[in-house]
Amino acid sequence: MGYFLFFLLAALCVGSVLGMIISKNQAYNALFLIVAFASLGGLFGLLEAPFIAVVQIIIYAGAIMVLFIFVIMMINIRTGIPPEKKKWTLYLSLGLAVVLIIELIVAIKAAFTLPVSTETLEAGPVSLGRLLFTKYLYPFEITSILIIAALVGAIVLVKKKEKV
Amino acid sequence: MIPANYFMILSVILFVLGAVAFFIKRDLITMFMSVEVMLNAANLAFIALTRSAHSLDGQVIVFFIITVAAAEQKKTIKTEDIKLMKG
């Protein structure tokens, strides 16, 4: 049963990302991505992380994708602006691709020797929240500064637009 | 119980697909979407390793990644708006 669910959700996720690559329409791309994120939420649930699964569905498939669709509706363009061509990006991307492939091969080889623990992990919101407010208190506070910075940045950018 | 390496391989596939989409796609919105796909591949790897390492720290990191992605979202959308208005 678990394996069946895993392969179903994995196929759904990879298939919808492939659909996003193939499709040209931005609105369809966003809808494909919602399917991918929802199936990833299912996978997180399969990995005994129920809280992260719920957060994934609410924030990613809900909030972030709604924002995407909102923007797509506001600026209604099909093709987008073509980026300028640069020669050096080709060589840079080739080099990066080689590095990425080597890294991934190493990672996959290491993944096969992972230990398999049979105990169940207690990953409810209570234990997660306790960890978040004790061990990770400072990162948590820094995140709030980051969000304020993003908000202020967005407001500043909008103001500039009105002047121009 | 499904072994963690299945999830790791799925995460690798998703990350590569996201990277490919980032370089193939022309429009900015879809490029941001492929960045989100790559972030999610990292999240999947974190959660899979959380289970096999038997500690909750990875899930907290995933929480932070989701928050940062949401914050980044706001800014990129506004930036894009401006670029389109000018262009």
Q: Give yes or no for A24 touching B (CB within 8 A).
A: no
ipTM (interface pTM): 0.85
Per residue in B24-70, pLDDT (tens digit) is 877 778 888 899 999 999 999 999 888 887 788 888 899 899 888 88
Number of Cβ within a 10 Å radius of residue B54? 11
Q: What is the pTM of this model?
A: 0.82
Domain spans, chain B: 4-86
Percent above pLDDT 70 for chain A:
84
CA-wise closest residue to B6 among A14, A103, A59, A17 = A14
CA A135: distance to chain centroid?
25
pLDDT of residue B87: 43
Per residue in A108-127, pLDDT (tens digit) is 777 777 666 666 667 778 88
Across A37-46, A74-83, B22-31, least confident range: A74-83
Q: Give yes or no for A25 touching B (CB within 8 A).
A: no
- Compare A93 and B49 and report the one with higher pLDDT: B49
Rounded Cα distance, B48 and B46, in Å: 6
For every residue of B25-73, DSSP letters joined together read --SHHHHHHHHHHHHHHHHHHHHHHHHHHT-SHHHHHHHHHHHHHHHHH
Q: Which residues contact B48 (CB under 8 A, 6 or more apart)?
A: A47, B4, B7, B8, B11
- With a cut of 70, say whether residue B10 has pLDDT above it: yes
Q: Which residues of A touch B34 (CB under 8 A)?
A: 20
Query: Nearest by CB to A21, which of B12, B21, B67?
Result: B21
Q: Which residues of A touch B56 (CB under 8 A)?
A: 121, 123, 127-128, 131
Domain A1-78, second-level architecture: Up-down Bundle (1.20)
Class of domain B4-86: mainly alpha
Q: Which amino acid is located at A119 in the chain? A: E
Q: Which residues of B touch A77 (CB under 8 A)?
A: 27, 84
